[in-house]
Amino acid sequence: MKTSMTTGMTTGMTTGTATGTTARTIRLVLGRTAFYGVLSVVGLFMLLPFLWSLSTSLKPDEDIIALPIRWLPGSITFEHYWSAFTTVPFARHFANSMLLAVAGVATNVLLGALAGYAFARLAFRGNRLLFRLLLASMMVPPVVTLVPSFVIVRSMPLVGGNDIAGQGGAGLLNTYWAVILPGAVGAFAVFMMRQFFLALPKDLGEAARVDGCREFRIFWSIYLPLCRPALATLSVFTFVAGWNGFLWPLIVLNDPDMMTIQMSLAAFSFNQKTDYGPLMAGSIVAMVPTLLLFAFGQRYLTRGLAFTGTGSK
């Protein structure tokens, strides 16, 4: 695209007269202005929901329902944030979500790196087969496993009042484990870490291996420190997915105290459909953690996405 454009420009300049060049410059300036104009309109469309919800959350009630609409708050109030946190145990739900998302990051990073390393660097029976199976599982839409996973979580033996056969109680339902365990290590985490370990030089570990170093030491002290970028990418991804997750927690967590912030917000929006001030305040609170993470870890996120797109090593 760009190359064809510059080539076109240079040929134009060599053949064109002086007036032709001016006309060309004017066209270029107009074209650029239009180009940036359209990009900015699209950008505004992307940002409008954030700006509008922020504006609504800070407006007094009479400004929220006003015609014609008021883009900016006449005066700023924090009462909607106060009421969002007092009508429902929003702080508790925020903490639940944080705990679940952070636990998901920890387990995915640790177990994903361990398994990824083994698949990339260790010769053991079933290596290829297991890895292919794992890869194939990424094609299975999560909705297929929804019902049976619920049954499995509920029938976990010897927990939550269950007997050894997994009957009689609620199993892991309404515990943090119901969300942590099924999401503890995604196929994506293993796949991504394996690809990363494959790209690292092989002979790094060979010397240590010949010296009789244990495999875990080689993994932990030689290879793992080299994967910080991959671990950061995986962490950001897992946190975003965990924080934003909705359907699974909705199914396995019913106790009001165990709700995640997403569930809390959905219930709130169902019960108080017209109470827009607190609703927008709640939405802002539910959006902020991933947005903050994005602000600081943007390069890790975009890198990870490019990785899924190109499937590069």
Partner 1 sequence: MTRTLATGPDIRGPAAGPAPHRRPPERSALGRHQARAGMLFTAPAMVLFLVFTVLPVAGAFGLSFTAYDVLTPPSWAGLANYGRLLEDDTFLTTLKNILYYCAMFVPAMIAISLVLALALSRRLPGMAIFRTVYFIPVVTSPVAAATVWAWMLNSHYGPVNEILGYFGIPGPAWVGDGSTAMVSIVIVTLWQGVGSNMLIYLAGLQNVPAHLYEAAALDGAGRWRSFLHITWPSLRTTTFFVTTLSLIGAFQLFDQAYVMTKGGPGNTTLTPVYQIYETGFNRLQMGYASAQAFTLFIIIVAVTVINMRVNRDQVPE
Residues 139-178 that bind partner 1 (CB under 8 A): 139-152, 154
Cβ of residue 257: shortest distance to partner 1, in angstroms? 19
Burial of 215 (0-12, 13-18, 19+ CB in 10 A): middle
List of long-range contacts for 81-84, beta carbons under 8 Å, 24+ apart: 81/57, 81/278, 81/281, 81/285, 83/277, 83/278, 83/281, 84/268, 84/278, 84/279, 84/281, 84/282, 84/285
Beta carbon of residue 127, minimum distance to partner 1 (angstroms, whole number): 6
Does 181 engage in binding with partner 1 (CB under 8 A)?
A: yes
CB nearer partner 1, residue 4 or residue 19: 4
Query: Binding segment for partner 1 among 23-31, 76-84, 113-121, 224-232 (CB under 8 A)?
Result: 113-121
Dihedral angle of Cα 72, 77, 79, 84, to the nearest 10 degrees: 40
Q: What binding mask, one character per residue, do residues 183-202 give for partner 1 by CB under 8 A, x or -? A: -xxxxx-xx---x--xx---
- CA dist 30 to 136, 300, 308, Å? 51, 36, 37
Whether the Cβ atoms of residue 219 and residue 117 lie closer than 8 Å to each other: yes
Which one of residues 224, 240, 253, 259 is an interface residue with partner 1 (CB under 8 A)? 240
Number of shown-chain residues binding partner 1 (CB under 8 A): 125
**230 scored as a contact of partner 1 (CB under 8 A):** no
Q: State the minimum distance, in angstroms, from the CB of residue 286 to partner 1.
A: 4
Q: Is residue 132 a contact residue for partner 1 (CB under 8 A)?
A: yes
Q: Which of these ranges, 75-83, 84-92, 223-231, 301-309, lies near partner 1 under the rule CB under 8 A? A: 301-309
Distance, in Å, from the CA atom of 172 to the CA atom of 184, rounded to the nearest integer, reads 15
Rounded least distance, CB 175 to partner 1, Å: 15
- Helices then strands, counting H and E runs in the chain, come out as 15, 0
Please report, as residue ranges, which positions from 54 to 83 form the binding site for partner 1 (by CB under 8 A): 56, 64-69, 71
Exactly one of 119, 177, 223, 300 binds partner 1 (CB under 8 A); that residue is: 119
The residue type of 305 is: L
Closer residue to partner 1 in complex, CB, 18/129: 129
CB 305 within 8 A of CB 234: no
> Cα angle vertex 38, ends 37, 41, to 5°?
90
For residue 44, how many other CB atoms are within 10 A of its CB? 10
Could you give the C-alpha distances from 19 to 9, 12, 31, in angstroms and in order?
A: 15, 12, 18
Out of 8, 161, 168, 256, the only residue in the binding site for partner 1 (CB under 8 A) is: 8
Cβ neighbors of 168 (< 8 A, separation 6 or more) are 161, 162
CB nearer partner 1, residue 19 or residue 289: 289
| Contacting partner 1 within 86-105 (CB under 8 A) | none
Q: Does 5 bind partner 1 (CB under 8 A)?
A: yes
Report, in Å, the least distance between residue 95 CB and partner 1: 16
Q: How far is the CB of 181 from partner 1 (least distance, A)?
A: 7
